[in-house]
Structure 1
């Protein structure tokens, strides 16, 4: 790790100056509404995910985080071949892994020596990728991992300096390579990464991305734990099919992305040139066609080999896809959506109280950051209530209630301040996920009183947020 960089740069205030300047210049872009950007993404329909990084040369998706920078050595790198392969399948964009979980950067970053410029290649792969795809009429997206095992951006080691490193790397990627349609984030708020949205603030990263490129969508690959009814911590709902995440093409109402590798894994393996691939017929009929009718963009991963080329068997299958599927010109119009939740949930793991419930479903389950558990009211209670006790009197301006049984019809929301309860909402709302946004108030307790429900209510998560607006 280049520790001298931290001492030399961040302590002199370069970060704040750079971000302030770029935030202003980013706002000069003509800005589309979020809904229009989401529709634009959905209507791209089909694109190429490109897992290509130091794992390509280690024959492992999770290589040794101390593998030398020199291991990265694609002697025949040809991003134009990738782009032409995408075109042959009638894809509309690419998405490249700029930095995966092992922390290796395949662009000319100034934040660390662990990058492609210190490899035998000594060429900026991100630059060659965006140039090649744009030359071939394709949109460009980038993938970036928050988890970074080489630089120890992982639980127990998160620091202000390391969060600053993330911000500067994202700033480089979103200012030096032209228009980026979407930034796909990974290694964040996942059971295997254990880096929470508080340890690395989602709201801060989200705001930075939007300041740098207002028309860039931010998509978190690890949003699977959140309900499918509204957007939590992402502009686009994602489904990693290899991990068992399956979108419902019958009921989905959110802008979505489903991803799958054409090979058996994400990064290239030595057996790939002769391995059986997923067949074009399956990819078209079971993925592209149904998903494009359900507000869902399909991202097919094609892993280039250690020479920097796509294997011939994958090239052939992509051409078959292009022969079977062509964009029919239809364009989706998304339903009206709430804006995504991006702020820290200040209610998470705080003390809670409630009316009577059985011991196995007590109030702690209503704010445990697990949407598969819930506080469940005892059915004998006529007017159930649930209350959160915040650490201190603090501001908030949004509340979400995940109604597990979709049974709560009429309720009151209250907050406690200056010795009395004040009402935020008193009325009917039959949504499964109830979202309330309001002018900022201050308080240290928040309560829901349920006046009408069709069965004993169950609250999976009660969230309280102070959103920047």
Structure 2
């Protein structure tokens, strides 16, 4: 009885401390940190949403939003021919923008495969284009030294055995209606199909760095890890690609090895996300505009400063940014995306040191008004991003004994340090405050960065 009570006590303690008894595989915290190190160092990646919906050019969810039938959607499959697709050009643009990895949709919710698959005819090889887009893309991006990531949709609006749910184009309102719609559908057959396809994409294209599964939606008329067979799926993934990094959308958050990073979508977090009181790896996925797929008439595009702040703020809270491009049906980038990538690349070329390998600054450093801080723990340098360029006096509080040198990052030009200058500012300061004397004219960069060499 005594041993039983001790065992029960340990189970409760483990549970309360957030350690799950459920495991996909064994890995220590240090091993996980090491496996994710390249991705944490990279900080900035490209998301690519591309499929048949590029022809409709009005959102990647067009089939659901307009409740289009399989028969009416078929026209896109029959004419899909991205004749201007040049993956080498895409890869060069991603690299020039300062991105270190990329994730492409191998299959989105519409169910169409951008890769050659032996499990369905609904793939790129049976379109007028007739060539494996994913193979070409992998070869081109790998040649530029970029990390390779695959997005694969758990959801499938084309497969005849996928049971209709609340996000399906044929969604209904009542249990009775769903029962009638699904009476001849077998989700078990779809689960096998899903697993076979994930095996294909993780077997046929060499080493894959990231797998982005999307997405679970538990609850009424929804789907959770049981519907996908997520446990067995992730075990297979870990076997096939032991070094791969997997997102958290397979509904396995309470399984060790069931996920590696969390994914706030189109959302700016207030602080570094945590699980059970511990900071976790995270990446926000964001769009240039309001759509992931190519949307010809969508005009709410973010400007260069907004995009740079998205990146800097993510890093300042210990996270990554995965920024999306939705190519056209001809296989080109929208000119607005080209412009945004080029502008970000111009800034990253001279300021990337404040992003790569950086993270949230130690708590002892307080960000001055209208700034964001990032910190490189290896070089012991602090970066102050000036979102609004200040007047000549730039006061940094409580850091006078911590800084040995200051410069602008874009040109490595020295910034003089000293005591606050002038009667009014002097009377507002304390002994350990330090003043940087900035030029009156703002440097010709969107967001100037001050690089501080710390003692």
User: Normalising by the residue count of structure 1, what TM-score does the alignment of the two structures yield?
Assistant: 0.58
How far apart, in 2, do the equivalents of 1:193 and 1:282 lie?
37
Task: Give the one of 236, 246, 258 matched to 2:261.
Answer: 236
| TM superposition shift of 1:193 | 7.8
Contact 1:50 1:301 in 2 (8 A): yes
Corresponding residue number in structure 2 for 1:411: none
| TM superposition shift of 1:264 | 2.2
**2:202 aligned counterpart, secondary structure:** helix
**2:352 aligned counterpart, secondary structure:** coil
Q: 1:71 to 1:231 in 2, by over 3 A?
A: farther
Is 2:164 the counterpart of 1:139? Answer: no
How far apart, in 2, do the equivalents of 1:321 and 1:193 lie?
42
Please, which runs of 5 or more residues in structure 1 have no aligned partner?
Answer: 1-26, 335-469
Contact 1:158 1:199 in 2 (8 A): no
Contact 1:277 1:314 in 2 (8 A): no
| TM superposition shift of 1:38 | 2.6
Instruction: Summarize the alignment of residues 23-422 of structure 1 with structure 2, pairs less than 5 Å apart.
Output: 33-59=31-57, 60-62=59-61, 63=63, 64=68, 66=70, 67-68=73-74, 69-151=77-159, 152-154=161-163, 155=165, 156=182, 157-189=185-217, 194-221=222-249, 233-241=258-266, 245-249=267-271, 253-271=279-297, 275=299, 277-285=301-309, 287-325=310-348, 326-328=351-353, 331=357
Query: Size of the alignment, in residue pairs?
Result: 295
Contact 2:60 2:293 in 1 (8 A): yes
**1:259 aligned counterpart, secondary structure:** strand
How far apart, in 2, do the equivalents of 1:259 and 1:111 lie?
30
Q: 1:158 to 1:76 in 2, by over 3 A?
A: same
How far apart, in 2, do the equivalents of 1:165 and 1:99 lie?
13
Q: Deviations over 1:410-458 (max 9, x none)?
A: xxxxxxxxxxxxxxxxxxxxxxxxxxxxxxxxxxxxxxxxxxxxxxxxx
Corresponding residue number in structure 2 for 1:10: none
**2:301 aligned counterpart, secondary structure:** coil
Contact 2:225 2:250 in 1 (8 A): no
**2:247 aligned counterpart, secondary structure:** strand
Contact 1:65 1:102 in 2 (8 A): no
How far apart, in 1, do the equivalents of 2:90 and 2:218 lie?
30
| TM superposition shift of 1:187 | 2.8
| TM superposition shift of 1:85 | 1.5
Q: 1:250 to 1:295 in 2, by over 3 A?
A: closer
Contact 1:38 1:236 in 2 (8 A): no
Q: Deviations over 1:301-341 (max 9, x none)?
A: 0111111000222111111111123431753689xxxxxxx
Contact 1:268 1:303 in 2 (8 A): yes
| TM superposition shift of 1:222 | 7.1
| TM superposition shift of 1:37 | 2.1
Q: 1:211 to 1:323 in 2, by over 3 A?
A: same
User: Normalising by the residue count of structure 2, what TM-score does the alignment of the two structures yield?
Assistant: 0.60
| TM superposition shift of 1:158 | 4.6
Contact 1:47 1:91 in 2 (8 A): yes
How far apart, in 2, do the equivalents of 1:266 and 1:50 lie?
8
Greater C-alpha Rg: 2
| TM superposition shift of 1:282 | 1.0
Contact 1:57 1:71 in 2 (8 A): no
How far apart, in 1, do the equivalents of 2:121 and 2:273 lie?
47
Contact 1:263 1:302 in 2 (8 A): no
**2:263 aligned counterpart, secondary structure:** strand
Could you say which structure has the higher strand fraction?
Answer: 1
Indicate the RMSD between aligned Cα atoms, in angstroms. 2.8
Contact 2:42 2:356 in 1 (8 A): no
| TM superposition shift of 1:160 | 2.5
Q: Deviations over 1:254-303 (max 9, x none)?
A: 1001011112211102225xx35211211112x11121132211000011
**1:198 aligned counterpart, secondary structure:** helix
Which deviates more from structure 2 when the two are superposed, residues 321-330 or residues 69-78?
Answer: 321-330
| TM superposition shift of 1:189 | 3.2
